[in-house]
Amino acid sequence: KQEVTQIPAALSVPEGENLVLNCSFTDSAIYNLQWFRQDPGKGLTSLLLIQSSQREQTSGRLNASLDKSSGRSTLYIAASQPGDSATYLCAVRCFTGGGNKLTFGTGTQLKVEL
Amino acid sequence: ETGVTQTPRHLVMGMTNKKSLKCEQHLGHNAMYWYKQSAKKPLELMFVYSLEERVENNSVPSRFSPECPNSSHLFLHLHTLQPEDSALYLCASSQDGRDEQFFGPGTRLTVL
C-alpha cells in the first residue's frame, strides 16, 4: 500500500527566504507526482506535475524535483512571499484497476511572515 | 463558469436527513472523482468515475451514494450520516484516468 509522508508538518519563515518542502513515498512504481496548494477551507490548486520519466519541473518561483528510485520529491520555493502562505500537498499517482489513484500526504503548512 | 464547481459550499445536516452534493466540471474531462478531507488526515479517494462508469469504490460506506448522469456532472447522495462524516468533500476531474486532476472548492459538511 502506497504511503506518502511530508516533512515538516509546519514551517514558518521570514519573507524572502528560499525554502524546501519534502515528500517521500514508499512504492516507487508511480505514474507521476503532483504538488498542490490549499488555502484554508478551500479546494486544491495544482502547482506542478512531474511524470515518472522526468527529474524536475519549474513554474515561476517553484521548482519540483523527483527521485523515483529513492521515493522522494522536493518542492523548492524561491524568494518566499506572504502570499505563499498555505498548505502544500504532495500526491503520487499509481494505477489501480481501471482508473488512477492519487495518494496524498498530510501536507506542510507554510507561513511566510513579513 | 470555468473549472470545477461544487454546491453547496457549506452544509449542516442531522443524522436522519437526506441531502446531495453536486459537482460540475466545465473542462470537457471524462473522469470525475470524490475525495474526503478530514482534519489532520490525508485526502481520501472515495469514488472514481470514468466515462460515466464507476471504476473505483474505495470501501466507502453505503450511506454515501454517488451518481454520474453524464461526463460533466457528479453527485454524492447522503443519508443517515454520522458525526464522524463531517469533513470537506472535494470533487475533481481529469481528461482521462492518468492525467492531472483539477479540484473544485469543496463542500464543508457538518453532521450534527
* Each residue's pLDDT tens digit, A19-42: 999 999 999 989 899 999 999 878
With vertex at residue A48, the alpha carbon angle to CA A45 and CA A50, rounded to the nearest 5 degrees, is: 140
Q: Do A103 and B97 count as a contact with CB atoms less than 8 A apart?
A: no
End-to-end CA gap in chain A: 41
Per-residue pLDDT at A1: 84
Separation in Å, CA of B78 to nearest CA in chain A:
20
Instruction: State chain A's mean pLDDT as an integer.
Output: 92
Averaged pLDDT, A45-51: 93
Per-residue pLDDT at A100: 65
Asked whether the beta carbons of B81 and B18 are under 8 A apart, the reply is no
Q: Do B103 and A45 count as a contact with CB atoms less than 8 A apart?
A: yes
Q: Which among B40, B55, B100 has CB closest to A99?
A: B55
| Rg value, chain B, Cα | 13
Q: Is the pLDDT of residue A97 over 70?
A: no
Q: Is the peptide bond before B42 cis (omega within 30 degrees of 0)?
A: no
Per-residue pLDDT at B8: 97
Q: Is the pLDDT of residue A99 over 60?
A: no
Averaged pLDDT, A61-90: 97
Helix/strand/coil percentages in chain B, nearest 5: 5, 55, 40
Per-residue pLDDT at A40: 86
Is A81 or B101 the better-scoring residue by pLDDT? A81
Of A16-30, A59-73, A84-98, B24-38, which gets the smallest average pLDDT? A84-98
Give the burial string for B53-82 (b: 16+ CB within 10 Å, else e). eebbeeebeeebebebeebbebbbebeebe
Kindly give the parts of chain B with pLDDT less than 70: 1, 97-98
Q: Which residues numbered 47-86 in B keep a CB inside 8 Å of some CB on A?
A: 48, 50, 55-56
Q: Is A32 helix (H, G, I), strand (E, B) or coil?
A: strand
Collect all residues of chain A within an 8 Å Cβ-Cβ radius of residue B88. 41
Asked whether the beta carbons of B31 and B93 are under 8 A apart, the reply is yes
Q: Do A99 and B97 count as a contact with CB atoms less than 8 A apart?
A: yes
Q: Do B50 and A98 count as a contact with CB atoms less than 8 A apart?
A: yes
Distance CA(A107)–CA(B52), nearest Å, equals 31
Is A1 or A16 the better-scoring residue by pLDDT? A16
